[in-house]
Amino acid sequence: MGHKMALWSIFIPAVFLLSQDALSKKKLKVEGSLVSEAAAKGTGRGEAGHEFELELKTKRKEKTKIEVSLKAWTEDDEIALRKAFFDYRLDEDTKIQFGANKKRFGAQYQYNNASRYTNKRHIIYRQKLAVFSWVGYETSLRYLVASKDDSLAKAWDFTIGYTESQEGSLMAHLHQPLDSEYFYELWSLVQVSKKTQNSQIAYGLVAMLAKESADRFWQWETAGGKDPVETEFEVVFNNGQPIHFLSTRVLTGWRFSGADKAKVWEPMMEFSAIIHDTGQPTYNTLQCLLGIRFRHGPLMIGFNVDGVAANSRTDAQNRLYDESSVSVLGRYDF
């Protein structure tokens, strides 16, 4: 409740500043997206979901601007304030942000969903990195350095955050272009994790090497660290030691477009593995995805066949396919 009140305390003055006066003077930028997805799961059940997100951004005044994001989705049948922060520019390449903001641990949390090639966040994010991000958003103070003029310059940011589950974190991120097509990124995180009544120090590291060109794209991402959820279970119930995980994924794809470049087809494949406990490598999850994405202006349609084979700590020989799915997703950005 306290965290929600903190969010509304930021949201109320933000709405005041994003008033009709700002709209009439064209000082407000409005963006958003509509997403619909239908999927058949490995459990034999189907699911469908819809999301609508609206982002409001003021033009910078006296070096300051405000960003507010509202999101409605059918999965939890609610409307939530997702982002509400002040952005203050210290100089041409440096700025700070304070308020309710995304917890950007890994590429698929760092950037918006439109930049993600697959329909859903990768299973590494859903099963491992999500336990660090919890709901994905937090109250934070973020310091960013990025060149506005040099696309090949190094960019980095440092964030101090606090979540509604009373978790504090320190995170650093580095984006380093190697040339006009290749780049690598690093994320490091240390946080006080509180999943039950007990607190613990959790940490993680994510590294990604990627290529983006007119006809090809690929990503190799590796993540590892101390799993706060599995560690909590082992320490509380089994008097065990901290549990560390290791994971990797490789995505590769191609781009095909017509003469006018307006319509783009992007077939892709992805392979990944998660070792849930480095002390027990046979306890793991394997994944293979085949997909294709079609883009035409603001419209995107994606089709994914995602095979996921997982076992358990107590039965490594028996694999389950409940996380497997066939899904179709449509997205329209405005």
Q: How far is CA 53 from CA 81, 158, 178, in A?
A: 10, 26, 34
pLDDT (tens digit per residue) in 15-65: 555 554 555 556 788 888 999 999 998 777 888 888 888 888 888 888 899
| H/E stretch holding 288 | strand 284-296
Query: For the residues 282-291, what does the mean pLDDT come to?
Result: 96
Give per-residue pLDDT as tens, 138-172: 889 999 999 988 878 899 999 999 887 778 899 99
User: What's the Cα-to-Cα distance from 178 to each of 118, 133, 211, 215, rounded to whole Å?
Assistant: 25, 29, 10, 18
CB of 107 within 8 A of CB of 121?
Answer: no
pLDDT at 276: 94
Digit-coded pLDDT (tens) for 214-262: 999 999 999 999 988 888 777 666 667 889 999 999 999 999 997 777 8
Domain borders along the chain are 84-333
- Taking the C-alpha atoms of residue 113 and residue 55, their distance in angstroms, rounded to an integer, is 14
> What is the pLDDT, as a whole number, of residue 5?
43
Res 187: pLDDT: 97
Per residue in 108-126, is it b (16+ CB within 10 Å) or e — as a string?
bbbeebeebbbbbbbbbbe
Statement: residue 196 has pLDDT above 70:
no
The length of the chain is 334
CATH architecture of 84-333: Beta Barrel (2.40)
pTM for the full predicted model = 0.85
Question: Per residue in 56-90, pLDDT tens?
Answer: 888 888 889 999 888 887 766 667 778 889 999 99
